[in-house]
Structure 1
Amino acid sequence: MTLDNLSVVLKQKGEIVLENREIREPQLGEAQINVKVTGICGSDVHYYVHGGIGSFLVKAPMILGHESAGIVSKLGPGTEASGLKVGDRVAIEPGVGCRMCEYCKGGRYNLCPEMKFAATPPVDGTLCNYYLHAADYCHKLPDTVSLEEGALIEPLSVAVHACGRAGVKPGDRVLVFGAGPVGLLCGAMAKASGARAVGIADIVESRLNFAKSYCNASTFVLPLTNKGEANIDYSRRQSELLRNALMSIPEHGGLGGLPDVVIDATGAETCVQMGMLVAKNGGVVVLVGMGSSLQQVPIAEASGREVDVRGIFRYCNTYPRAIELLASGAIDVKPLITHKYALDDSIAAFEHVRTGKDGAIKVQIVA
């Protein structure tokens, strides 16, 4: 199927269609991007399957996608300061704040109440042939970074921000819950930040085997169920087992001590609880995964041991550093790309991710 602006549109919960949308001209401060690569994120699939995430509900048809890279095809007026020119290869940072509030002016634009983020209702996403975006949020890629890698700068940015919020420093021990793309990138970023030992815990052993080869992580298999126990009781019992495993030296599959930093990339209540229970005294737990809005947590144990619990919301000011990490070889995202689909086969790509078949880590759609 060859159309001028083929777009992957979520019509309603459970229904994705391909539509030819109008190619719009860039306005003041905008760049028109010929999108070449887009990764499928878990949030895209969540919108597809459930029709919403928290208070963000799909009430009208919406173009999906926000992990994208492409080529500048046109520039609107007032884009000179961006340094872009037609033909530049760029990674698209998908969230743009209002630029006027205290958060934008203070450099924490990810917290802007008026943030417009691609593929977050009601804002259309990037999974189309041509996309308009603020030129100063289009980051030029060096020749050594491919467009496929450029599309992975978005999830890498989550890892950069998470490790920054955690204050990961040389010599730290870091434990990550979740061996999906973001969890794996958090492990890789912790290593790049100088962590002496990184562990990754998950319920899927095949993903843990990938983690061992990808970022040389110690791995810990978590049981599938709580066997009828209350969540917090189950978490306490499992945490004791996990603490013992973490204390063994890396050569024996542990971290050599309790983690200075725990990063939860799952959002699962059990993992949040266990993270707070296994972090060392005075350690830090960073919550990356989006789970239930209300959860039971062992607050007395965390408070009594001065465990800091920190949230993150996406990222800010991370794209330049993420590009440098890729260009220097400090982090390699290429092994994460396990499957590719053509744009006109996007529905099959979403089904592939939804079903989780064939050991998919990151599925990308290439135009």
Structure 2
Amino acid sequence: MGKGGMSVDDDQQNMAAWLVGLNTLKIQPFNLPSLGPHDVRIRMKAVGICGSDVHYLKTMRCADFIVKEPMVIGHECAGIIEEVGSHVQNLVPGDRVAIEPGISCWRCDHCKLGRYNLCPEMKFFATPPVHGSLANRIVHPADLCFKLPDNVSLEEGAMCEPLSVGVHACRRANIGPETNVVIMGAGPIGLVTMLSARAFGAPRIVVVDVDDHRLSVAKSLGADDIVKVSTNIQDVAEEVKQIHNVMGAGVDVTFDCAGFNKTMTTALNATQPGGK
């Protein structure tokens, strides 16, 4: 559960992908902590590569988090339970699980109010100095492991973590059958937000991006319409007109899934008064 370390034992069989320097990954042994009474040991079967992993690889940092010593990467993950702690009752060896990658303190006000994602002491996989999950095995709290239905693959299970971003966004925005949605950015988070908005009942969804291929993927996954834009902030006014034209109605909610000054400016200008 992010508490392992680099092994010096040549016989250690648990291997992991260590970020050891700029653009440098090495497959090296990874020691696991002992299994606590409420923990499980999981054999990893699927781990996604997030944009944050790429940032760490290319720059050794992501926002204010800086890699100062070797770190195991990866946090979007699913696997199979191999062993359970003495007090674990909800899981057994052989269970296929999706893994929630953040361990909160459960003591602060945020945790007590159920908003544990805001915990200031959050220990999140592959966020320095906490190790990640791109390894043969990990140890993790059982209550952060969720059994997968038989019809959900392990690869799909690993995508539960990024999908949760879209679900959380749609919940906060109260997306429903009367909510027309614009999504800025057709990357992975933009796409799962689009799929979530559709599942929440959004009647019309327009996806905006600078890349033709990403827009074509969005269209194939169910976007009602797409708008290709530029990276030039001087084009915002004209592009907002395009967005309004293809929407054919007021924009109730805009999700910025890219995070640039221009996408935020476009979102604010495209969304109707009283929108979100």
Return the match for 2:13 from 4, 24, 28: 4
1:242 alignment counterpart: 239
Return the match for 2:43 from 34, 50, 54: 34
CA distance in 2, matches of 1:57, 1:23: 23
Cα pair 2:44 2:138 within 8 Å, conserved: yes
Query: Is 1:216 the equivalent of 2:223?
Result: yes
Return the match for 1:47 from 48, 56, 78: 56
Which protein has the bigger helix share? 1
* 1:78 Cα offset (Å): 2.3
CA distance in 2, matches of 1:247, 1:37: 40
Q: Give the 3-state SS of the residue equivalent to 2:149 in structure 1.
A: coil
Q: Give the 3-state SS of the residue equivalent to 1:215 in structure 2.
A: coil
2:262 alignment counterpart: 270
CA distance in 2, matches of 1:260, 1:4: 53
Q: Summarize deviations over 1:234-269 as a string: whole Å, max 9, x none.
A: 2xxx33223322333xxxxx1112310000111111
Question: Gaps (5+ residues) in structure 2?
Answer: 1-11
Cα pair 2:244 2:270 within 8 Å, conserved: no
Q: Give the 3-state SS of the residue equivalent to 2:92 in structure 1.
A: coil
Cα pair 1:25 1:32 within 8 Å, conserved: no
1:182 alignment counterpart: 189
Q: Summarize deviations over 1:17-69 as a string: whole Å, max 9, x none.
A: 11022344311311111000001000000111111112211011110000000
Q: TM-score, normalised by structure 1?
A: 0.70
Q: Summarize deviations over 1:88-138 as a string: whole Å, max 9, x none.
A: 000000011101111111010000000010000100000000001111000
Q: Give the 3-state SS of the residue equivalent to 1:21 in structure 2.
A: strand
Cα pair 1:184 1:215 within 8 Å, conserved: no
The 10-residue stretch of structure 1 (25-34 or 93-102) with the greater mean CA deviation from structure 2: 25-34
1:57 alignment counterpart: 66
Structure 1 residue runs of 4 or more that deviate by more than 4 Å after TM superposition:
none
Return the match for 1:194 from 193, 198, 201: 201
* 1:217 Cα offset (Å): 3.2
CA distance in 2, matches of 1:77, 1:143: 26
Query: Is 1:73 the equivalent of 2:121?
Result: no
* 1:11 Cα offset (Å): 0.9
RMSD, matched Cα: 1.5
Amino acid at match of 2:220: S
- Identical pairs, percent: 42
Question: Gaps (5+ residues) in structure 1?
Answer: 249-253, 285-367
Q: Summarize deviations over 1:313-345 as a string: whole Å, max 9, x none.
A: xxxxxxxxxxxxxxxxxxxxxxxxxxxxxxxxx
Q: TM-score, normalised by structure 2?
A: 0.93
